[in-house]
Amino acid sequence: MKQENIRNFSIIAHIDHGKSTLADRILEETRAITEREQKSQLLDNMDLERERGITIKLNAVQLKYNYKNEDYLLHLIDTPGHVDFSYEVSRSLAACEGALLIVDAAQGIQAQTLANLYLALENDLTIIPVINKIDLPNADIEKVKKELEDTLGFKEDEIILTSAKRGIGIAELIEAIIERVPAPKGNKNDKLQALIFDSYYDPYRGVVALIRVMNGKIKVGDQMKMMSNGLVYDVVELGVHNPHPTKKDLLVAGEVGTVSGAIKNISDIKVGDTITLVDDPATDLLPGYKPMKSMVFCGLYPLESSKYPELREALEKLKLNDASLEFTPETSKALGFGFRCGFLGLLHMEIIQERIEREFNINLIATSPSVIYEVSLTDGSTINIDSPVKLPDRVKINDIKEPYIRTNIFVTSEYIGPIMELCQNKRGIYNSIEYLDKTRVSIHYEIPLSEIVYDFFEKLKSSTKGYASFDYDFIGYKSSNLVKMDILLNGEVIDALSVIVHKDFAYNRGKVIVENLRKLIPRQQFEVPIQATIGNKVIARADIKAVRKNVLAKCYGGDVSRKRKLLEKQKEGKKRMKIVGSVEIPQEAFLSVLSMDTEE
Amino acid sequence: MIKACYIHIPFCSSICSYCDFCKVYYHDKWITDYLNSLEREIKNIYQGEELDTIYIGGGTPTCLNIDELKRLFEILKIFNISDHLEFTIEGNIESIDKEKLELFKTNKVNRLSIGVETFNPNHLKFLNRNHTTQEVTDKIKLIKNSDFDNINIDLIYAIPNQTIDDVKKDIELFLSLDLPHLSVYSLIIEEHTKLYIDGTKNIDEDLDYKMYKTINEMLSSSGYHQYEISNYAKDNYESRHNITYWNNDEYYGFGLGASGYIGNIRYTNTRSIDNYIKGNYIYESEKLNEIEKLENALILGLRKTKGISISEFNNKYHKDILNDEIVKGLIKEEKLIKEVDNIYINPKYLYLSNEILIRFIK
């Protein structure tokens, strides 16, 4: 294929604005899939993705389209839609020359619309604005058009109207891609520079990297080198997805495809890295490479201690496909053997936990999420800690710094009050409010990341009736007056419940945690005091009462089977509790330390 | 050898707000068909054993009219009965009358179990029961005058808004009736009941426990002994039929929604009156293995305050109960007490018996 007939593009959108459905329609329009195959949202591979309506892993598809008697090769590069994966998004955007910016005809511009648009603009992409879901009864096309014009500076005649659901405007859209997105620029005779924008594990091929050849060419049998770490592999197989995997002998500048080479460890293939040839290496990495960094950490423990090896296996399997997942063994006095796990963000953490429970059938106890604190010690050294348990004794600490983020909260102006209140409660520092139009604002606060991991999303949703959309950027570390708060049950510190809190907020947090635990932990066979302490000082206390009644009063006309079932159910309930010391603690209790409010 | 038989009469002329038993509104069009089907069921299953106990439960068996009751007793003539038969019928205050009592007497019924539930008019209304204290006193007198002395009443406590004094008053009124047996249950809000649908909440657990202790003390100081979690009796008036269940012995169960235990099989009949009348009796049945039988023997036997007889257990199940690791552990923890030939739950923990019983379930 002539290089000038190649178009590389991706689709960017706020969550739920119809990105995957639109991708499916494009595939259908280009005859890449038959209707029978169109199992709605073909690009989303995992059940979990389909269920949550979000795309976690990227995919790239090659499509053929004939336009004005010319054959074109289109590469559609799918991107995840969530802030946790913004680096991955930025790398897949770097593999493209153009992007479709999808905006929901009823909802208009949202936080991630903007966040992703900025990423696309940073990569100098040609943007095609698309208003999707125009068939919705509450679609307000004129209003959304005006937003795109006034806020983002598009011209009215640039905007394409579609309904992916009903197949409206799809051919027009494909033609716009061919007309407007520039052909790739690279030179196939230069030295090889191929950008890795994603990778996955295939049981037969090992690690497969998704690449965009920027310059030069790569063929089967070449020796390739990862420029960030110098690792060398033979190119065993090249291919494209159209969308079925198809082998290729050669990929040249401008093309997108897969490369595999008996690579066992997914961490060796880094998203954003550059592949070159051992024999004739390029001198420079492609711009924009950043090593992956975990932002949020938590301990994951099997509810039944005997499942520890299974948990390790599950994490190893997930890691095969997810280089951003980190884990190291950890022991907790209360919970036994488990793993300290690092995630890109909260959604990433949630997805991993859910997959372990669902796909590997292991009941988990997750400790409260933590961030990385920079602790400078009195001896002049600095340490990074990712768990409250690791915080050194107070007398040895000079200063603690914590990561801050800058929020980008999109909302209609009526909710400014509640959101400002929420941000203040989360130790937020006010930055600015920008008016996008008369009614819609973008609110910027600087907030410690650790506060975001505590129920911020839920709070935001509930205080704005679900209308707010939220995005954030990491902005660096700042000093805070932080202390470690321990929770004691029956006089014993439960290490898994310890949290790092701001001193001014400690008293309230302690009260709330203790109260929540009192409500969540069922009556025990004896009375159990719950205490929150800082140092040796008790700041809050409550008691779990002793169980007084646990009996089946009546036996129904000799219905022994029923009675037995009730006892079995009760036994099953007990199995879902962790016995710490002699106290039975339900799973939910370990997360209750997150909540700022008392549970209903 | 089966010695006990339960017969379920599901009909009621009004439905109590807490009841999740198998019951249907009384309607005369159903009774004939129901009794015919019951007769067929009994004839199919009953093997002619000599029965020691028969228990007609409900629903409200006494809400059948005199002709329907006559037909019922006609059907039960098939049973071969022992000389010391205990024959119980359940009923409510309103539907019992002299004529029915005479019919019971002629048909060898010798024990009555009456649902009184409470004497407090407000609580009665809450439970959707329709009698007054005066009616209770009058009917009990009538029953006694008809030459019945083995009489039980059911009481319920832990009713929302009930106080300790209310409970005391109920027990005092029971004592004034001078009856040999009392079943007393704490109110459980079961699914599929009016109370559950109304969102009724259980009373505070601590108050429930205080009520239980109060009842226990009042009854034991008046000559009643607790022989099972919810049952109190004067000496020799324990319900032999119910003890069959706790002893994990076999029994027939006939009628809508009834359960039985025959051979190694525990079964429960359908709760659909249509299916029952059509002769589709069984809803589910389960063949028990040896382990389940042992577990049942333990979880049922330990409901009795006397617990389990070691020698009987060992003979019946060819196992030494004292060798069981869980039993050993519980004795060590003083949750169970071993005394001569018996193992029973430490009275301190009787009200927490589930905590102990679930340990026996694998």
Higher pLDDT, B63 or A474: B63
Inside any domain, residue B240: yes
Cβ neighbours of residue B24 closer than 8 Å, sequence gap 6 or more: B10, B11, B12, B30, B59, B256, B273
Q: Distance (Å) from the C-alpha of residue B206 to the closest C-alpha of chain A? A: 6
Helical segments of B47-180, H only:
66-76, 98-106, 121-126, 133-145, 164-177
The per-residue pLDDT for A582 is 79
- Residues in chain B whose Cβ is within 8 Å of chain A: 6, 8, 21, 55, 57, 185-186, 188, 205-206, 208-209, 212, 229-230, 242, 244-245, 251, 253, 257-261, 266, 268, 284, 286, 295-296, 299-300, 303, 350-355, 357-358, 361
- Segment A549-589, tens digit of pLDDT: 888 877 656 788 888 888 888 888 877 778 887 788 887 78
Query: Within its chain, how far is the Cα of A546 from the centroid?
Result: 42
Residue range A137-163, pLDDT digits in tens: 999 999 999 989 988 889 999 999 999
- Residue B38 sits in which domain range? 4-245
What is the chain A residue with the closest CA to B251?
A558
Under an 8 A CB cutoff, do A557 and B212 touch?
A: no
In a domain, B86, yes or no: yes
Select the more confidently predicted residue: B189 or A436: B189
Q: What angle do CA B152, B155, B157 make, to 5 degrees?
A: 160
Q: Do A557 and B259 touch (CB under 8 A)?
A: yes
Per-residue pLDDT of chain B (362 residues; tens, 9 = 90+): 899 999 999 999 999 999 988 888 998 889 999 999 999 999 999 999 999 999 999 999 999 999 999 999 999 999 999 999 999 999 999 999 999 999 999 999 999 999 999 999 999 999 999 899 999 999 999 999 999 999 999 999 999 999 999 999 999 999 999 999 999 999 989 888 999 999 999 999 999 999 999 999 999 999 999 999 999 999 999 999 999 999 999 999 999 999 999 999 999 999 999 999 999 999 999 999 999 999 999 999 999 999 999 999 999 999 999 999 999 999 999 999 999 999 999 999 999 999 899 999 87
pLDDT value of position B13 = 92
* Distance (Å, whole) CA A541 – CA A518: 9
Inter-helix orientation angle B98-106/B66-76, to 10°: 10
Asked if residue B119 belongs to a domain, the reply is yes
Number of CB atoms found within 10 A of residue A305's CB: 12
Quote the CA–CA distance of A345 and A337 in Å, as a whole number: 24
CB contact at 8 A, B252 and B4: yes
Given this model, what pLDDT does residue A120 score?
A: 86
Residue A70: exposure state from Cβ atoms within 10 A (0-12, 13-18, ≥19) = exposed
* Chain A residue with the nearest C-alpha to that of B245: A558
Residue A51: the pLDDT is 46
**What is the CB-side half-sphere exposure of residue A386 using CA atoms within 13 A?**
16
Rounded to whole angstroms, the Cα distance separating A148 from B235 reads 89
Taking contacts as CB-CB distances below 8 angstroms, the residues of chain B near A552 are: 229, 353-354
| Cα B155 to Cα B160: distance, rounded to the nearest angstrom | 15
Chain A CB contacts of B250 below 8 Å: none
Whether A395 and chain B come into contact, CB under 8 Å, resolves to no
Residue B187, domain member (yes or no):
yes
Count H helices, E strands: chain A?
A: 14, 33
CATH number of the domain that residue B201 is part of: 3.20.20.70
d(CA A23, CA A44): 10
Number of residues written out for chain B? 362
Q: Crossing angle, helix B66-76 and helix B28-45, to 10 degrees?
A: 10
A156-173 residue pLDDT tens: 999 999 998 898 999 999
- pLDDT at position A80, please? 66
pLDDT attached to residue A594: 63
CA separation for the pair A75, A70 (Å, rounded):
16
- Whether A216 and A191 have beta carbons less than 8 Å apart is answered as yes
Q: Which of A351, A224, A235 minimizes the C-alpha distance to A296?
A: A351
Confirm or reject contact between A564 and chain B (CB < 8 A).
Answer: yes
Q: What's the pLDDT band for A295 if we cut at 50, 70, 90?
A: confident
**What is the pTM for the complete model shown?**
0.67
Once rounded to an integer, what is the mean pLDDT over residues A422-427? 92
Judged by CB atoms closer than 8 Å, whether chains meet at A554 and B205 is answered as: no
Which backbone phi and psi does A383 adopt, to 5 degrees?
-125, 155
Instruction: Give the distance from residue B145's alpha carbon to the nearest chain A alpha carbon, in angstroms.
Output: 28
Q: Which of A545, A554, A564 sits opposite B185 (nearest CB)?
A: A554
Helix, strand, coil distribution of chain A in percent, nearest 5 = 30, 35, 35
**Stated length of chain A:** 600
- Count how many Cα atoms sit within 13 Å of the Cα of residue A46 in the half-sphere of its side chain: 19
**pLDDT tens figures, A59-89:** 788 888 999 999 999 999 877 656 567 777 8
Tell the burial category of A311 from Cβ atoms under 10 Å away from its Cβ (0-12, 13-18, 19+).
buried
B287 in a domain, yes or no?
Answer: no
- Of B63 and A32, the structure prediction assigns the larger pLDDT to B63
Where does the pLDDT of residue A464 fall: very low under 50, low under 70, confident under 90, or very high at 90 and above?
Answer: confident
pLDDT in tens, A313-363: 999 888 877 778 889 999 988 888 999 999 988 778 888 998 899 889 998
Is the predicted pLDDT of residue A44 greater than 50, yes or no?
A: no
A572 touches chain B (CB under 8 A): no
Residue A560 has its nearest CB partner, among B257, B261, B357, at: B261
**Residue A35 pLDDT > 70:** no
At A264, is the secondary structure helix, strand, or coil?
A: coil
Cα–Cα distance list, A518 to A486, A546, A585 (Å): 15, 12, 11
Does the beta-carbon distance from B205 to A545 stay under 8 Å? yes
B352, part of any domain: no
Average pLDDT of the residues of chain A = 86
- DSSP bridge pairs for B253: B6
* CA separation for the pair B336, B298 (Å, rounded): 12
Contact state of A564 with B353 under an 8 Å Cβ cutoff: no
Task: Check CB contact under 8 Å for B206 and A545.
Answer: yes
| β-pair partners for A394 | none
Chain A residues close to B188, C-beta within 8 Å: 553-554
Strands of B256-328 (E only): list them: 259-262, 265-269, 282-287, 308-309
B55, B185, B296: residue with CB nearest A560: B296
Q: Distance (Å) from the C-alpha of residue A562 to the closest C-alpha of chain B?
A: 9
Q: Which residue of B has its CA nearest to A569?
A: B358
Q: For every residue of A19-87, which 3-state class applies, written as one string?
A: HHHHHHHHHHHCCCCCHHHCCCCCCCCCHHHHHHCCCCCCEEEEEEEEECCEEEEEEEEECCCCHHHHH
Contact A341, A312 (CB under 8 A): no
Whether B147 is covered by a domain: the verdict is yes
- Chain A residues closer than 8 Å to B60 by CB: none
- B306 in a structural domain: no
Question: What is the average pLDDT across A510-523?
Answer: 91
Number of domains observed in the structure of chain B: 1
Q: Which residues contact A438 (CB under 8 A, 6 or more apart)?
A: none
Query: What are the C-alpha distances in Å from A449 to residues A85, A445, A474, A478, B201?
Result: 16, 12, 8, 11, 41
Alpha-carbon gap: B261 to the closest alpha carbon of chain A (Å) = 9
Q: What is the mean pLDDT of residues A269-279?
A: 92
Cα(A83)–Cα(A104) distance, integer angstroms? 18
Under an 8 A CB cutoff, do A557 and B186 touch?
no
CA angle, residues A13, A19, A23, in degrees to nearest 5: 135
User: A167: which DSSP letter?
Assistant: T
Q: What is the DSSP string of A412-439?
A: EGGGHHHHHHHHHHTT-EEEEEEESSSS
Which token pair is A220?
């089967």
- Looking at residue A371, the DSSP 8-state letter turns out to be -
Contacts of A184 (CB under 8 A, 6+ apart): A3, A6, A8, A97, A214, A253, A254
Nearest chain B residue (CA) to A567: B358
* Chain A positions in Cβ-Cβ contact with residue B259 (cut-off 8 Å): 556-562
pLDDT over 70 for what percent of chain A?
Answer: 92
Examine the pLDDT at A43 and tell me if it is beyond 60.
no
Angle made by CA atoms A428, A429, A430, in degrees to the nearest 5: 110
Residue A473 pLDDT level (bands cut at 50, 70, 90) = confident
- Compute CA distances A94 → A98, A284, A371, A545, B176, whole Å: 10, 16, 29, 59, 91
Between the alpha carbon of residue A217 and those of residues A179, A229, A252, the distances in Å are 26, 21, 4
All residues at 6 or more sequence positions from A536 whose CB lies less than 8 Å from its CB, including other chains? none
B205 chain-A contacts, CB cut-off 8 A: 523, 545, 547-549
pLDDT in tens, A373-416: 999 999 999 999 988 989 998 899 999 999 999 998 888 888 99
The Cα–Cα gap between A448 and A401 comes to 10
CA pair distance B299, A316, nearest whole angstrom: 44
Q: What is the pLDDT of residue A597?
A: 62
Contacts of A561 in chain B (CB under 8 A): 259, 266, 268, 284, 286
**Taking every pair of C-alpha atoms in chain B, what is the biggest distance, in angstroms?**
59
What residue type is A9 in one-letter code?
Answer: F
| Cα–Cα distance, A519 to A346 (Å, whole number) | 26
Q: Is there a contact between A553 and B230 if contact means CB atoms under 8 Å apart?
A: yes
What one-character DSSP code corresponds to residue A4?
G
Q: Which of A545, A560, A571 sits opposite B245 (nearest CB)?
A: A560
What is the Cα–Cα distance from A413 to A435, expressed in whole angstroms? 9
The terminus-to-terminus CA distance of chain B in angstroms comes to 28
- CA atoms B84, B90, B92, B96: torsion sign: negative
Cβ separation B6–A558 shorter than 8 A:
yes
Chain A residues close to B295, C-beta within 8 Å = 564
Q: How high is the pLDDT of residue A600?
A: 39
| Tokens encoding A153 | 């500076």
Cα-to-chain-centroid distance, residue B1: 22
Find where tokens 């909440």 sit.
Answer: B201
Produce one character per residue of B167-203: b if its CB has 16 or more CB atoms within 10 Å, e if not. Answer: beebbebbeebebbbbbbbbbbbeeebebeeeebeeb
Closest-approach residue (CA) in chain A for B359: A571
Contact B205 A549 (CB under 8 A): yes
CB pairs under 8 A between A and B: 96
Instruction: Supply the pLDDT for residue B34.
Output: 97
Task: Say if A1 is an interface residue toward chain B (CB within 8 Å).
Answer: no
Question: Rounded CA gap, B203 and B126, in Å?
Answer: 14
Amino acid identity of B316?
Answer: K
Q: Which whole-number Å values give the CA distances from B109 to A71, B58, B88, in the listed order?
A: 96, 16, 6
